[in-house]
Amino acid sequence: YSGAYFQSKEQVMEGDSLLYDRENEIFRAYGNVKARDTLQNSIILGDKLYFDERSDHIEVTENALYIMIDGLDSLFLHADTLLSYQIDSIDSRKIEAFHKVQFFRDDLQGRCDSLDYIIADSTIHLFIDPILWQNENQLTAIKIQIKLGDNGIDFIKMEDKGFLITELDSSHYNQVKGKSVIGFFDNNSLNRVEVIGNGESAFYPEDSNGKIGLNKVLCSEIQMLFKDGKVKQVKFDNDPVAELLPMSQLKAPDKFLEGFIWHIDFRPKGKTDVYKWNKGP
């Protein structure tokens, strides 16, 4: 068929050319394909689509784009391959994205090699070299979990080698790292950070005249409270080792914790940037 559409339960699929194998219940579409989930209010676009009606399994490749529609802030996600299928045990659909994954939402951008999104609990997992950006914050780890809520981001968990960097200006950054780092958000603003295991921090306390120095601390567990992007309170547990370096004595190597990399060249700046895989400088 040409220029037709196919519907199976809540899935509506379109394409320039459609083929349907009735015996095996396999549907294929080519050219400007669209798989629309009427229940979850999401769309997958691309150039090739494969749908197994029996297993309710969708695969889209070539210029694949997943759009999670939200009236205020939709998410646009691109990858080499996108999968969508039903998980009967939890009665939810799961989205999987593989290779050169990048996504953009006004309040959150990211990239990684692979990703999965369980719709029922609004949880996203990023695997292999994940990087997230949220306002002035950059988050990296071996694996990252994002929990979305009704008002945006609930929390972001950086598992194994978690590293949170907050840009203060072009040459000064607050930093915290550890085995596990969890950032909690309120109305999409970072308001609390918890570090569990091998904690390190470097942040700039301020007074009425501005930055007074760089406070560097080693401590296994750290809790930090933020307001308006600035550190307002810090709690260190289990024998912290601290050093305050005055601004006048700061040298370039003092400013950064080991492993610091500011990945500004990778950050998608708009929804069309998710198609551009930047390898960096």
Query: How would you write 104-157 as a 3-class SS string?
Result: EECCEEEEEEEEEEECCCCEEEEECCCEEEECCEEEECCEEEEEEECCEEEEEE
Using CA atoms, how far apart are residues 169 and 157, in angstroms rounded to an integer?
Answer: 25
Closest alpha carbon to 193 in 160, 167, 232: 232
| pLDDT the model gives residue 105 | 93
Assigned token pair, 142: 């071996």
Q: Are 47 and 34 within 8 A, CB to CB?
A: no
Residues 6+ apart with CB under 8 A from 157: 144, 145, 147, 180, 181, 182, 183
- Write down the pLDDT at residue 228: 77
At 280 the pLDDT is: 61
How many whole angstroms separate alpha carbon 93 and alpha carbon 267? 28
Q: How far apart are CA 35 and CA 235, in angstroms?
A: 49
What is the structure's pLDDT at 281?
A: 52
Tell me, what's the pLDDT at 263? 95
CA distance 60 to 45: 7
CA 242 to chain centre: 32
pLDDT of residue 3: 61
How far apart are the C-alpha atoms of 120 and 172, rounded to whole Å? 39
The span from the CA of 29 to the CA of 60, in Å, is 9
Cα separation, 118 vs 115, whole angstroms = 10
Pairing of strands 230-237, 241-246: unpaired
Q: Chunked in runs of 10, what are the mean pLDDT values of the chain (281 residues)?
A: 72 89 92 90 94 93 93 88 88 92 95 95 95 94 93 92 94 94 91 94 88 93 85 85 93 94 95 90 52
**Token digits of residue 149:** 């809520």
**pLDDT for residue 1:** 52
**First-to-last C-alpha distance (Å) of the chain:** 47
Phi–psi pair at 274, nearest 5 degrees = -65, -20
